[in-house]
Structure 1
Amino acid sequence: MPRWLLLPAGLGALLVAVPIVAMALTVDWANFGALVTSDASTDALLLSLRTAAVSTLLCLLLGIPLAAVLARSSGAATTALRSLVLLPLVIPPVVGGIALLQAFGRRGVLGSTLEVLGLEIAFSTTAVVIAQTFVAMPFLVLSVEGALRTAGTRFEEVAATLGARPGTVFRRITVPLVLPGLASGTILAFARCLGEFGATITFAGSLQGTTRTLPLEIYLQRESDPRAAVALSLVLVAVAVLIIGLTRGRRDSLAEGTA
């Protein structure tokens, strides 16, 4: 490794580390417990963890098949589909929230029909899950599709020539081969769900105990009580670091097992 890489690498690390350290240094530690254990803060944290878990599960259920289709297909239709799937990565989350509102809101394309059936999605906990899934699924699709392309199709073709059915090949050959990439995608998706703000507040609103996740609570506290906002921000960082650390260890063990 060239030694000159150390300078920009160090600057990059400082760019990430200094704001986090500064936040930790400015927290009102004497009143930290009271700041983060209010009813509103606890409700927001628990709601964030619940909805992020459900949204990540949806990302897995929908994203793995989607990534497999993209990795094993080619042509103009596949390119167009890939561009559409990755669109939430490049548009502002607020724009994604507006798009969801136009689709599932009371006056939306699908929302008006769903309301007749007694289903109201916008400004509900379901809306939080949909918003988080919308913005997080591309991270999982990117990771899994890349892992599938890297793994190639040799083992799948051998299994097929031995008489294995496509479903069996996918379940017993394809998925185990891409477990490290799948773990990485799951980590990214969960982290993105946990920190989602723009699409959530636009599509789901900010109702305590129903749609107000921890990022929304931090934003509201920033206006009324900056000390509480800093403390809650540190809690969110700590939860994210804990989740990433646990799942990263699991990913490394999967990579070793696959190797």
Structure 2
Amino acid sequence: QMEMQFFVRPGTEGEWYETWKAARRRFHEALGLPADKLRFHDHDKLAHYAKAAVDIEFEFPFGFKEIEGIHSRSDFDLTQHQNLSRKKQQYFDNDIDEATGKPYGNYVPYVVETSVGADRLFLATICQAFQEETITEGEGDAQTTKQRTFLKLHPAVAPIKAAIFPLVRKDGMPEKAQQIFDDLRFDFRLVIEDKDAIGKRYTRQDLIGTPFCIVVDGQTLEDDTVTVRDRDTREQVRMPIAALRSYIGEK
């Protein structure tokens, strides 16, 4: 469980509650959870100290379930600490109250709390990322179809940002792949793969959610360009090695 308690001035808790509702929803969307699979569910019954409470729910394959709760808890938490510990939990607010022209002074802060389940969020991310599709290969009588499985993880949370493939393990290609790795390794988490046919390498990286595969081939040794393959679309583009950092970073 990951919790945060945000202290606010009494009287502003409603505004901050709405602010955190919007901010936390944006957080989940930024991880790759689509807006149409997220919803707010307001609590019908509140604890005696609560002013408002809402759950953020995600539509799992088995239905909508809570992944995070947001609560406006008044000053109950700090007042309880103060009463039981006999230590003041007050804060002196130097900001000027426009109504009086004086500082807001001492008060026990109100709390807006967010609480997200790490395991539930992980499950939601994996459920959303898991993709199966039927793809067609070849042309005419040689055309075939097959099932493709991959993890469509948002690049920000993919454990490996890019895999570098020397097309063959000779002719200077492994050394060139290592140079690219050394140049980018402080910016992104990378791997070099040189085992098996390139199609099998693509499949392995698709299954762990790697967004980009960079292929070093004979042309790379001539003009310092590489082929970059996109995990989601399987499209391949040719670009200079010097453009890789900005290309991956912008994604």
| TM-score, scaled relative to structure 2 | 0.21
TM-score scaled to structure 1, two decimals? 0.21
Give the number of the structure whose alpha-carbon radius of gyration is greater. Answer: 2
The answer to which structure has the higher helix fraction is 1
Q: Which has the higher strand share?
A: 2
